[in-house]
């Protein structure tokens, strides 16, 4: 990994072999919203950890145990909504933005790294929100307005990029493909949002057994294009009491806007 990737990994790292793992992970998630881990080479190890932290939400592409294998299938290239199953670049997004209640947690564990490329990209939505609050409040207001964004297909979700969830806290949802549409008032500000996202991106090149866990209501994730037989295990779910999280993230720099 690059020096920057090493720094990010070490900054958020928790050792799975030390006591009170769920408690330590919960504290990390309530603080920074992200945890990095190692020692998860086998699918069974991933499952054991995931079941300690969350109620798994099975997806249409997941296996019977609830995990989804993220790999290049050779069949999904160019299909909207299935970019994860190709080998191309994926732009920063939150997971399952088109459903009414997106999963709160996402874990991504590397079973086999790419030959080249395939770095994971992470972007802190709290930092993006604060950036817009400080430098372009018009954009933040437009992207926080009710009914300003629609994510998903015909049965998708009508809401906003930033939604107030109470007590000065905000939840994020966003995607950058053909399943994202914006109101005439919000559309001119999407490029401003994308620029803010780029200013706060970091990268991780996960080795076999390494993983990250994120608060999906705060963090965006993405991927660089790759070659080779890259394979990861993904879990989406609802936090168990040991890692209970308050709604959304704390809005920095201004009073939150209504969704």
Is 90 exceeded by the pLDDT of residue 94? yes
- 196 to each of 124, 190, 204, how far by Cα in Å? 10, 10, 19
Is 80 exceeded by the pLDDT of residue 259? no
Q: Are 182 and 139 in contact (CB under 8 A)?
A: no
Q: How confident is the model at residue 154 (pLDDT cuts 50, 70, 90)?
A: confident
Q: 179, 99, 188: which is closest to 143 by C-alpha? A: 188
pLDDT tens digits, residue range 173-227?
999 999 999 999 999 999 999 999 999 999 999 999 999 999 999 999 999 999 9
pLDDT value at residue 1: 34
pLDDT value at residue 77: 66
Q: How confident is the model at residue 2 (pLDDT cuts 50, 70, 90)?
A: very low
Give the torsion sign (CA, 120, 68, 238, 169).
positive
Q: How far is CA 120 from the centre of its chain?
A: 10
Give the torsion sign (CA, 250, 142, 140, 29).
positive
CA distance 86 to 83: 5
- 143 to each of 35, 174, 220, how far by Cα in Å? 28, 10, 16
Percent over 70 (pLDDT), the chain: 93
Instruction: Give the pairing of strands 249-250 and 231-239.
Output: unpaired
180: β partners: 151
Q: Are 200 and 123 in contact (CB under 8 A)?
A: yes
Q: How confident is the model at residue 6 (pLDDT cuts 50, 70, 90)?
A: confident
Is 60 exceeded by the pLDDT of residue 254? no
Determine the average pLDDT of the residues in 89-104. Answer: 97
pLDDT tens digits, residue range 34-67?
999 999 999 999 999 999 999 999 998 899 999 9
Both structure tokens of 248: 């959304």
Was domain 3-241 assigned CATH 3.10.180.10? no
Instruction: Give the pairing of strands 249-250 and 169-172.
Output: antiparallel
Instruction: Give the domain ranges of the chain.
Output: 3-241
DSSP 81: T
pLDDT tens digits, residue range 217-238?
999 999 999 999 999 999 999 9
| Rounded-to-10 torsion of CA 111, 114, 119, 125 | -40
């Amino acid at each position: 990994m690059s020096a920057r990737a090493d720094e990010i990994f070490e900054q958020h790292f928790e050792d799975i072999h030390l006591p009170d793992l769920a408690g330590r992970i919960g504290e990390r998630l309530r603080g920074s919203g992200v945890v990095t881990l190692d020692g998860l080479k086998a699918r069974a190890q991933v499952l054991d950890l995931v079941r300690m932290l969350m109620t798994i939400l099975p997806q249409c592409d997941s296996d019977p145990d609830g995990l989804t294998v993220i790999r290049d299938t050779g069949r999904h290239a160019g299909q909207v909504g299935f970019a994860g199953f190709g080998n191309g670049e994926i732009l920063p997004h939150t997971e399952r933005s088109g459903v009414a209640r997106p999963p709160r947690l996402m874990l991504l564990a590397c079973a086999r790294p790419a030959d080249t490329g395939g770095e994971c990209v992470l972007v802190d939505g709290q930092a993006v929100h604060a950036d817009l609050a400080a430098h372009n409040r018009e954009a933040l207001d437009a992207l926080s307005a009710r009914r300003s964004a629609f994510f998903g297909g015909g049965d998708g979700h009508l809401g906003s990029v930033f939604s107030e969830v109470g007590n000065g806290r905000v939840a994020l949802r966003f995607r950058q493909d053909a399943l994202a549409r914006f109101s005439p008032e919000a559309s001119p500000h999407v490029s401003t949002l994308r620029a803010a996202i780029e200013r706060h991106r970091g990268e991780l090149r996960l080795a076999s057994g390494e993983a990250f866990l994120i608060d999906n209501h705060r963090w965006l994730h993405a991927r660089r294009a790759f070659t080779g037989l890259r394979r990861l295990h993904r879990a989406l779910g609802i936090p168990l009491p040991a890692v209970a999280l308050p709604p959304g993230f704390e809005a920095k720099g201004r009073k939150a806007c209504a969704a």
